[in-house]
Amino acid sequence: MNKIKLFIFIISFGLVSSIAYTEDGEEEAATPSNPQELLEIVRQGQFADTRQQRNRESEFRNEKNKQAKLLSDAKDERARLEREAARLEQQFEANEALLVVAEEQLRERLGSLNEIFGHIAGNTTEARNIMESSITAAQFGKDREEFMTALGSKMNEGIKLASIEELETLWYELQREINASGEVVKFNTEVITTDGNVENRDVVRVGNFNVVSDGQYLTYSPSRGAYSELSAQPAGRYTSQSSDLLGGDAFPVQFAVDPTGPQGGSLLESLISMPGTWGKMQEGGFVGTVLMIIGSLATLLFIWRFYELWTIRGSVRAQAGSATLTDDNALGRILKIAEEDKEADTETLELKMAEQILKERPSVEGLNWVLKIVSVVAPLMGLFGTIIGMIETFTMITLFGTGDPKTMASGISTALVTTWLGLMVAIPTTFMYATVNNISRGVLGTIEEHSTGMAAKRSEGTK
């Protein structure tokens, strides 16, 4: 019996301990010291649970009533909106019927004016598209484009007729654009440079084809409403004509016009995309680079040799016309041998002077042989580059076929450019070698002539 009481006490104590807190959950209830106190605590807990359950039921019923009220209000609102939607639908259908009748009446009253609306709307739309991209837009401004847009929208509605003033303005703008195609006009406007800056410049507009400024062709940027410099310019002979046009006070002035216009003009675009001389040389590849280096070195060698030989020839000619022998020239050094050795016989003198001529010959002929080798080797190197280019071309044909010529263009370009570079180096170098070799032969001829004359005088004196 005592064990049963103890067991009940422990359970009750655990239950009471788990729920015996204050309403704030911060303060615990007092621990019972005997069974009577424990019993009292359990009874109070049952009363607390009953009150809490009643409070919860009351709150639930209140919330339920509120939700029922909201549901009822929502149903009433839905019913009202449904009635309003039905009324508006009926009104819409009635308005549609009236609109059909009104449109029919409008068409009957307009008659042939509908065709006029269509013509005007089409013309304004076409004119606006042309004027938006025309190079005259930077000069005439955006007002005409806005007018065309407004008039086109009005005509597309087909409700109001265009006024006489609007028709006259349309006529005026179309005629002004036509007249601009045959005018050469100089004016000041904003120009967008290639680095994005905006500058005020004097420009010349040639019809509605091209615009030039400061020796450069310009294009029109519709998004910014101003002229802008092209990313690249055509060859110098074309830009020089544009400079003449800008500074010319009297006509006619020679000028290259792209009739396809700057907006996607095929001729000007082709001229810009066409590589210049340096670009063509770069297409020669490694062989082309070697040829350009060899040609440059050969040109420098020719300049140096020409200057040196010209100096030698001048000193030899001066010595030939002077009675005083000096050591600063080849002829003087050779003739001085005969003057210093007056007792030598003719044969010995000739041998000594021939020996001195052999010593002087390297300085006279020098590196002339290098120019001769370059003139012979350059065409062979060009032919070597041609073979490389053709091998590349046939490789592309094997891989991709002949459907696209662009795949073969690189190899053919290499083949032709290297041949061109080889001839461009060989032909001038041949003339260079001929020039320096002729001067060298002239100098040596003068030396040998005077040396032979000296030996002949000595021989006559001996006899």
State pLDDT tens for residues 348-383: 777 777 777 777 787 788 788 899 999 999 999 888
Both structure tokens of 444: 């040596």
State pLDDT tens for residues 227-261: 888 777 776 666 666 666 666 565 677 777 777 76
Average pLDDT, the chain: 77
Per-residue CA distances from 327 to 16, 311, 442, 447, 458 (Å): 137, 15, 20, 14, 21
Q: Of 86, 103, 104, 179, which is closest to residue 139 (Cα–Cα)?
A: 179
In a 13 Å sphere around the CA of 135, the CA atoms on its Cβ side amount to 31
Residue 365, Cβ density class (10 Å: 0-12 exposed, 13-18 middle, ≥19 buried):
middle
Find out whether the peptide bond into 35 is cis, omega within 30 degrees of 0. no
Supply the pLDDT for residue 261.
66
Supply the pLDDT for residue 88.
92
- 221: number of Cβ within 10 Å: 14
H helices of 184-276, in order, are: 236-247, 266-273
Which pairs from 228-231 meet CB under 8 Å and 24+ separation? 228/191, 228/192, 228/193, 229/191, 229/192, 229/193, 229/194, 230/272, 231/194, 231/272
Determine phi and psi for 422, rounding to 5 degrees: -60, -45
- The pLDDT confidence band at residue 161, using thresholds 50, 70 and 90, is confident
Q: For the chain, give the percent of residues with pLDDT over 70.
A: 74
Residue 330 predicted with pLDDT over 70: yes
Helix or strand or coil: residue 112? Answer: coil
Please answer whether residues 295 and 371 qualify as being in contact, where contact means their C-beta atoms are separated by less than 8 angstroms. Answer: no
Supply the pLDDT for residue 344.
64
- The pLDDT confidence band at residue 23, using thresholds 50, 70 and 90, is very low
Which pairs from 190-198 meet CB under 8 Å and 24+ separation? 190/138, 190/226, 190/227, 191/218, 191/226, 191/227, 191/228, 191/229, 192/221, 192/224, 192/226, 192/227, 192/228, 192/229, 193/228, 193/229, 194/229, 194/231, 198/226
State pLDDT tens for residues 3-13: 455 455 455 54
State pLDDT tens for residues 312-327: 888 888 877 777 777 7
**Distance (Å, whole) CA 322 – CA 35:** 157
Cα-based torsion angle of the residue sequence 413, 414, 415, 421 in order, rounded to the nearest 10 degrees:
100
- Adjacent-strand bridge partners of 190: 200
**Distance (Å, whole) CA 357 – CA 343:** 21
**Distance (Å, whole) CA 341 – CA 358:** 19
